[in-house]
Structure 1
Amino acid sequence: MEPETTTFTSWFDHLSLEEFLGAGSYGHVFKAISGAESERLSAVKVIFIDTFGKLTEELEKEKERASREYNLMTGKKHENVLEILKSTYTNFTVSDLNIIKNLDCLKENKNAANMINFRIIEASENPIPTFCIQMELCGKNLRQWLNAQSINNPELDQIKKTIIRNMFEGLKYLHSNNIMHRDFRPENVMFSYSSTTDFLLPVKVGDFGLCRNVHREQTVTGTLTPGLGHDLYRAPETRGSNYGVQADIFSFGLVLWEVTHLLRQREIGKIFYQLVDESKTNLVKPSTLFRNVNESIISLTRRRVQDRIKSLHEVENLDENHNQFTVKKRKALVEILKTCKPGDTIVLKDFVGTRYAYAEYELCADNVTLYQEGRVNGHHNWGLVVKGNSCAIKNITFNKIKIEGSNNLLQDINCSEFNLIGCNNKVSNSKVRDYFGVRSVVSGDSNSLENLQIIYESGGILVSGSGNTFLSLKFKHLNNIGLIISGSRNVVRDFKIESRDNPRRDPNNSYYLKNLTKLHAITENYSDEIKRVYDTYGAIGIITTPTSSETVISNTICENVLISGMQHQLESVIINKTLHLEGENHSINSCKAHQLFDKSHSTALIDSNFEIAELN
């Protein structure tokens, strides 16, 4: 939208310029009152086009630059962005300039009056092309607020958080509309107008005189004017013409540091240089204002563009409405897990785990999503305890994971051990690899495990809970015991076990003896029978203990099966070696086995489709 073309006097018929507010980028700013009835307050920026020594083509480019502020910002409305209301283009004559010079608000401002006198001399040769932009009136700026703070009082924390979030949302809004500010600094962040206080929240991003549109397809443009903006806040790449919104991001990072720690204006030149050019990141101290705000400041102000955050959308910890947090280091993960809230998303991006001692993290909040992007650097010697409910854990590599809550989802997980203590949890499309001879445990009820690949040599899964479902599980390289069920009403379906060619283990193996010790404690002396079968026939795919009942096992292939307890049902199970039956009232339907050892005292119901090579 182009500005109106009108005369100075007609445009100001409904405006009264009451106060000279100062000079911004390419303009002089006044406080104005609109109309006698409404008396709406606004600000008016008067932008004079410098015509001295310019050719017609150069003058047109200058006009285009001066009108850019209005053209880019008209129609843009956001509570943290200064609103542009109206604009006009006219040629100021000596008479027009004398009207401004004689305003009451300029009579005691010699500097402003001298600037107008200079323009009067210029207009005596030729009228001056001028843009007048009417905009929302604001209060004092952020620099004035920073200078008014004498100490870093904790009582200011909430105000600082609001200021940071306001300017963050305002700048992010500009970037979402493909607008680059190019002069982001405390002087251009304004407080809301109030007749009773100087610093009324919210704050708004303003002074769009250097704004520029950037391409939708990319954020870097090679035709930008170099060296614009204040030198203290100017990104290093703006010395050339090839830069983009990351220059604003750099400036925002420095202002974020100022507000977070209330840096003194006399200090900032030195410490900005030390942070950016000398990489003294230890200067940026942690703060309780926001999670990992020191890391955010460092990431925002990297000297090299390729090392810097690419978009403000990546700075999740400042966004009260955006609950996704990107974590790269162990300490940051600990902090976020302690403070995360329902609905938060935590992304482990190129996560650097512990290299030596085992570390365990606790997730206590409900409805949190945790997933991994990129690879985990260092060893995977860490574990996660999920105490919350309805959380989603996806695409993560752990050593151990323990789920104490309920209704959680584990998907695309890689670990060596899991422990499902809670109820109604689901584990799917995951891989469990035994490195240490440990045994995973399902002690909760009504959990579901689907599409798991389990590479266990000496471990396995102990199921002491009830009502759990195991679908499409595949054991590989089994040397010991696969599934031990001591609970009731569990279901095993589409279960395949591949044992090694020589599945028998050395009886003196420490992992084997350790597992037998555990088995003795959990199977009520049944471990002697398990040891006898294992030593004689090799790896045992499925065991139901004497305390178990009503297990359904179907569409399963394994080497040896040992059934005890009561009322278990086997359907379409292929047992390549031996089936051992103990306990009472089992049902065997459409199964195959090489050998059957029946100690159930003829209480087992075996249908006529049962195929057996040898009966013992």
Structure 2
Amino acid sequence: MASNLLQKNTLTRSLTAPYLSSLRFESCLGSGAFGLVLKATNLANGSQTAVKFIFPPATQDGTEQKKILRECNIKALDPHQNIVKVIDTIEGSFTLSQLNGMLPEALFKNEADKSFRDLYFGRLTRVQELEGVLIQMELCGETLRQWLREKHDKLDSALHKKQYAIVKNLIAGLAHLHKNKILHRDLKPENVMFSKTGFVLPVKIGDFGLSRHLHSEQSRTNPLTSRTGTLDYRASECLDNDYSFPADLYSLGLMIWEVAQLIKSNDRSKMFDKLVNDKEVSLIELHPQIKGLRELIIALTKKSASDRFQQLEQVQKVFAQKELCDLKEGHHLTARNGEELRKLLKGATPGSKIFLIEAEYDGNFVVEGESITIVGKGEKTVFTNSGSNSFVVKGMGHRILNLKISKSGEHAGFNCLRVEGDMNSFSDLILIGGAYSVKIEGNDNKLDKIQVSVAIKGIHITGSRNTIDDICLTGDTTRYTIKFGPNAFHGWLTNSAHMSDLAAIAGFLKFYKLLESVYYTFQILRK
């Protein structure tokens, strides 16, 4: 029984009437396999906490009771701002009358929580008392998963700072656990909480029901359980019982990626699989303010534990070296005309953000280096020039957003946008005219929300692993609309039905099977 085990644990004490009478339970915060969590107010001082009710089924080997002991033992840790604080643990026996008094039906608003309550009460119809444990913890806000489900403006600098802070908090919290030889084993956004309601930082790691204290007497005599944790975040070595701290680092790497890139829930499993098993590292987008993010995530998510980072100190060292990009005035710049923009591009450093105004920018512009962001004001930020290509992007990791590039008349033989570099992203662009509205020679570039019109030859992509999504093609073309060249392997064309002049478009799709993978080359040609 739970009480027999917990009596050996100096961190717990017996349930007493004064303890119960000092708390008023106000609402159910959640339920699940772990039990029920209720919001409680201390009647003496008005302080609020969260109280977890756990009523484990009795098992011969005491498996469920051992899980409770692990969570209780977190109380012995030194307090840390990125770990949910366990205030008290209380064990005892509960009668039907006691549970009715503590857990009235009015506290439970949704059907799932009501069902969980009914499950406990149903068990009391078969026994007189129910053995259980109450774990009193600091009251936190929403989970990290809830924050990820919110709508975010990816261009918002305040969001970038918050993402950085969340990543830093996750690393610090896990470092504290590992320093105390605790392996969490179930790191995921559902088990990370914000400090207060309203997504208030810092975030804190919680839910230690699956944790283990490594290098303890117990871990030396009892092997670790295989297949522990949540599948999406579980390292491959956890299929066996021979794993250690790198398993947590794997989960951490995927969470960092999820936070920094705001990966959607329905894309998560597929993207995790492509990164880990197919090694498609180009899926990891560069972050405008966290330097070295791609390298950090790659080092944390290697499929083989021996190839992965082994200790949190390695993560902390890399993260310290790749600090938040400097946001002082010198890196947060505004260009009011073409001449100013050319000067700023010449002196731009990684992480620089250049903002444009509603104006005409005349001439040709070349973006070189790494991780430079250029943000316009929409269709009223217009690029024109007197010859050659209007906009040439070299280097890697650049972001070009929210502007218009126009070429017409005698200069139509050149391109609106020419991309020679790799891993760049383009969004919310309006491209008018040119021989090619877009010509992409580099690899792993992404185009999203692009409007193209009056282009002689449309879009031409010769590089590999480039992605086009949400393209609006209007007006007539003299030859073809979109063309992926014969060597443009692994290209993706999605959501391209925004073609208003469908009568002018006819095409075919060629499939090439090389080795054991299907490689795609797309050509949409005008007949």
- TM-score of the pair, normalised by structure 1: 0.48
**SS of equivalent to 2:133:** strand
Q: 1:8 to 1:249 in 2, by over 3 A?
A: same
Q: 1:35 to 1:305 in 2, by over 3 A?
A: same
**SS of equivalent to 2:113:** helix
1:74, 1:85 within 8 Å by CA — same for their partners in 2? no
1:49 to 52, 56, 65: 56
1:49, 1:128 within 8 Å by CA — same for their partners in 2? no
Structure 2 letter corresponding to 1:287: H
**SS of equivalent to 2:53:** strand
Q: 2 CA distance for matches of 1:24 and 1:112?
A: 8
Which residue of structure 1 aligns with residue 143 of structure 2? 141
Q: 2 CA distance for matches of 1:69 and 1:269?
A: 28
Q: 2 CA distance for matches of 1:136 and 1:318?
A: 31
Name the one with the larger helix percent: 2
Structure 2 letter corresponding to 1:147: R
2:141, 2:200 within 8 Å by CA — same for their partners in 1? yes
Q: 1 CA distance for matches of 2:235 and 2:268?
A: 15
Deviation at 1:270, TM superposition (A): 0.3
**SS of equivalent to 1:228:** coil
1:260, 1:289 within 8 Å by CA — same for their partners in 2? no
Deviation at 1:68, TM superposition (A): 1.5
Say if 2:239 is the partner of 1:236. Answer: no
Q: 1:317 to 1:173 in 2, by over 3 A?
A: same
**SS of equivalent to 1:140:** coil
- TM-score of the pair, normalised by structure 2: 0.56
Q: 1:295 to 1:130 in 2, by over 3 A?
A: same
Q: 1:97-147, CA deviations, whole angstroms, 9 ceiling, x for partnerless residues?
A: 2224415322x3332222222212212333222110000110001111111
Q: 2 CA distance for matches of 1:109 and 1:291?
A: 43
1:28, 1:46 within 8 Å by CA — same for their partners in 2? yes
Say if 2:178 is the partner of 1:175. Answer: yes
**SS of equivalent to 2:232:** coil
Which residue of structure 2 aligns with residue 89 of structure 1? 91
1:220, 1:242 within 8 Å by CA — same for their partners in 2? no
Q: 2 CA distance for matches of 1:227 and 1:290?
A: 33
> Cα RMSD over matched residues?
2.6
Q: 2 CA distance for matches of 1:322 and 1:6?
A: 49
Residues 185-200 of structure 1: pairs in structure 2 closer than 5 A: 185-194=188-197, 198-200=198-200
Structure 1 letter corresponding to 2:28: F
Which residue of structure 2 aligns with residue 111 of structure 1? 112
**SS of equivalent to 1:260:** helix
Residues 406-485 of structure 1: pairs in structure 2 closer than 5 A: none
Which residue of structure 1 aligns with residue 302 of structure 2? 302
Deviation at 1:321, TM superposition (A): 9.5
Which residue of structure 2 aligns with residue 408 of structure 1? none
Say if 2:7 is the partner of 1:4. Answer: no
**SS of equivalent to 2:171:** helix
Q: 1 CA distance for matches of 2:147 and 2:42?
A: 28
**SS of equivalent to 2:78:** coil
Say if 2:28 is the partner of 1:27. Answer: no
**SS of equivalent to 1:139:** coil
**SS of equivalent to 1:290:** coil
Deviation at 1:9, TM superposition (A): 4.0
Which residue of structure 1 aligns with residue 267 of structure 2? 267
Q: 2 CA distance for matches of 1:137 and 1:199?
A: 13
Q: 1:5 to 1:243 in 2, by over 3 A?
A: same
Residues 503-542 of structure 1: pairs in structure 2 closer than 5 A: none
Larger RCO (alpha carbons 8 Å, 6+ apart): 2
Q: 2 CA distance for matches of 1:303 and 1:88?
A: 41
Gaps of at least 5 residues in structure 2 are 1-8, 324-348, 352-527
Residues 124-135 of structure 1: pairs in structure 2 closer than 5 A: 124-126=125-127, 127-135=129-137
Deviation at 1:165, TM superposition (A): 0.4
Q: 2 CA distance for matches of 1:292 and 1:50?
A: 47
Q: 1:254-290, CA deviations, whole angstroms, 9 ceiling, x for partnerless residues?
A: 0100111111111111010011111112212332332
Which residue of structure 2 aligns with residue 246 of structure 1? 246
Q: 2 CA distance for matches of 1:210 and 1:42?
A: 22
Say if 2:207 is the partner of 1:207. Answer: yes
Q: 1:216 to 1:91 in 2, by over 3 A?
A: closer
Q: 1:266 to 1:244 in 2, by over 3 A?
A: same
**SS of equivalent to 1:39:** coil
Structure of larger gyration radius: 1
Runs of 4+ in 1 over 4 A off after TM superposition: 219-222, 317-323
Q: 1 CA distance for matches of 2:220 and 2:315?
A: 20
Q: 1:175-220, CA deviations, whole angstroms, 9 ceiling, x for partnerless residues?
A: 10101111111111111124xxx11111111111111111179x99
1:192, 1:202 within 8 Å by CA — same for their partners in 2? yes
Q: 1:5 to 1:321 in 2, by over 3 A?
A: farther
Q: 2 CA distance for matches of 1:160 and 1:268?
A: 18
Q: 2 CA distance for matches of 1:175 and 1:25?
A: 25
Deviation at 1:221, TM superposition (A): 9.2
Deviation at 1:90, TM superposition (A): 0.7
Q: 2 CA distance for matches of 1:321 and 1:44?
A: 40
Structure 2 letter corresponding to 1:189: V
Which residue of structure 2 aligns with residue 445 of structure 1? none
Q: 2 CA distance for matches of 1:221 and 1:296?
A: 34
Which residue of structure 1 aligns with residue 75 of structure 2? 73
1:25, 1:207 within 8 Å by CA — same for their partners in 2? no
1:87, 1:134 within 8 Å by CA — same for their partners in 2? yes
Q: 1:216 to 1:291 in 2, by over 3 A?
A: farther
Say if 2:192 is the partner of 1:184. Answer: no
1:17, 1:33 within 8 Å by CA — same for their partners in 2? yes
2:296, 2:318 within 8 Å by CA — same for their partners in 1? no
Which residue of structure 2 aligns with residue 315 of structure 1? 315
Q: 1:79 to 1:101 in 2, by over 3 A?
A: closer
Q: 1:7 to 1:173 in 2, by over 3 A?
A: closer
Residues 325-344 of structure 1: pairs in structure 2 closer than 5 A: none
Q: 2 CA distance for matches of 1:214 and 1:310?
A: 15
**SS of equivalent to 2:141:** strand
Q: 1:521-574, CA deviations, whole angstroms, 9 ceiling, x for partnerless residues?
A: xxxxxxxxxxxxxxxxxxxxxxxxxxxxxxxxxxxxxxxxxxxxxxxxxxxxxx
**SS of equivalent to 1:243:** coil
